[in-house]
Amino acid sequence: MEPQTPTATRRVLVAKPRGYCAGVDRAVEAVERALEQYGAPIYVRKQIVHNVHVVKTLEAKGAIFVEETEEVPEGEIVVFSAHGVSPAVHQEAAQRQLRTIDATCPLVTKVHNEAKRFANQDYDILLIGHEGHEEVEGTSGEAPDHIQLVDGLDSVDRVTVKDPSKLVWLSQTTLSVDETIETVNRLKERFPTLLDPPSDDICYATQNRQVAVKELAAECQLVIVVGSQNSSNSKRLVEVAKDYGADASYLVDYAAEIQDAWLEGVTTVGVTSGASVPDDLVSDVLAHLAARGFGDVQEVESVKESMRFALPHELRKDLRAG
């Protein structure tokens, strides 16, 4: 590895806020506290949050991750992930007499509630999101006869509605803010009476992490985003970094994935992380970069965050009793 630029000119800009959001913090703590309270194993339906390292760490402590509730032995405890589940999953769990702890992020639950309310008023709901994403599956399950998925600009032309005067859009919580605005504008060209959601569905954490990366991207030749490939909000950070001026941006789970070739000719590296990423993984990236001459680290803070969510009530009740 031969440095091509003098060490003194190399620096790292670290985005703030980055990493864990309130919903992820709550979901991960819910599994940890459930393991302490009830003992291993604790079953978790789907990845509790979309991060490889978090899942491995919880597995090592005794969590068992399954794809569906039918894989959980009857009577056992299952935690539902931060991305939320459809009512059908709650029913299946009840049929199997599972004890459930619902770690759905309250901001995802808010979107579920909006979907139910508009469906009850007989609205057609255009749900902007990514096909196959667990959150989209959960939200769609609240009102399958009323919800149509709009995944990208191309799908706008395929939308069909019963009554354009009763039409609302909602969205997945972890989308690109800019792309969503573009999709909504295109939808409004087709359906001028399209109603906006009562409040932002893209959550505060997704928005703030995008604002933070926009602030530093133009100064960076390279932006490294720590996060997993199946993490929607992390992938959006890579796109935003490139859209806002970074020459290149890569998503990595671990520091060891950073290739020395990415750093050739680079003087400023931006670093951020998705909402499901513990900060020690970012520290590892900073150490990796420091070892390659990028020891000058500055944090660029764009928004202050103080959001916290209480643990799921089923768990709180038992913790109090304990």
In DSSP terms, which residues pair with 222 in a beta bridge?
248, 269
Q: Judge whether 220 is annotated as a binding position.
A: no
CA distance 238 to 317: 40
Instruction: Provide, rounded to whole angstroms, the least separation between the CB of residue 9 and ligand SF4.
Output: 36
Of 157, 155, 115, the residue nearest 136 (C-alpha) = 115
Residue type, 155: S
Cβ 78 to ligand SF4, closest distance in Å?
Answer: 19
Of 30 and 263, nearer to ligand SF4 (C-beta) is: 30
Residue 249 or 276: the one with the smaller Cβ distance to ligand SF4 is 276
- Is 306 annotated to bind ligand? no
234 assigned to a ligand binding site: no
Cα–Cα distance for residue pair 302/101, rounded to 1 Å = 35
Question: d(Cα 165, Cα 187) in Å, to the nearest integer?
Answer: 13
- Give min distance, CB of 20 to ligand SF4, in A: 8
Does 228 count as an annotated binding residue? Answer: no
Exactly one of 135, 137, 142, 215 is catalytic; name it.
135
Name the residue nearer to ligand SF4 (CB basis): 206 or 268: 206
Contacts 24+ apart (CB under 8 A), 178-187: 178/240, 178/243, 179/239, 180/128, 182/153, 183/128, 183/150, 183/152, 183/153, 183/156, 184/128, 186/153, 186/156, 187/126, 187/150, 187/156, 187/159
- CA Rg, the chain, in Å? 21
Specify the residue, 47 or 174, whose C-beta has the smaller distance to ligand SF4.
174
Q: How far is the CB of 110 from ligand SF4 (least distance, A)?
A: 9
- CB contact at 8 A, 287 and 1: no
CB of 131 to ligand SF4, least distance (A): 18
Task: Say whether 155 counts as a known binding-site residue.
Answer: no
Is residue 300 within 8 A of residue 17, CB to CB? The reply is no
Please count the other Cβ atoms lying within 10 Å of the Cβ belonging to residue 5. Answer: 13
**How far lies 174's CA from each of 5, 27, 209, in Å?**
37, 16, 10
112 in a known ligand binding site = no
The closest residue (CB) to ligand SF4 is 23
- Would strands 63-66 and 248-252 be described as parallel, antiparallel, or unpaired? unpaired
Q: Is 264 a catalytic residue?
A: no
Interface positions with ligand SF4 (CB under 6 A): 21-24, 82, 105, 107-108, 173-174, 203, 205-206, 233, 275
Q: How far apart are CA 126 and CA 268, in angstroms?
A: 41
Residues forming the annotated binding site for dimethylallyl diphosphate?
Answer: 50, 83, 133, 231-233, 276
**Catalytic residue set:** 135
Binding residues for [4Fe-4S] cluster: 21, 105, 203
Q: State the binding site.
A: 21, 50, 83, 105, 133, 173, 203, 231-233, 276
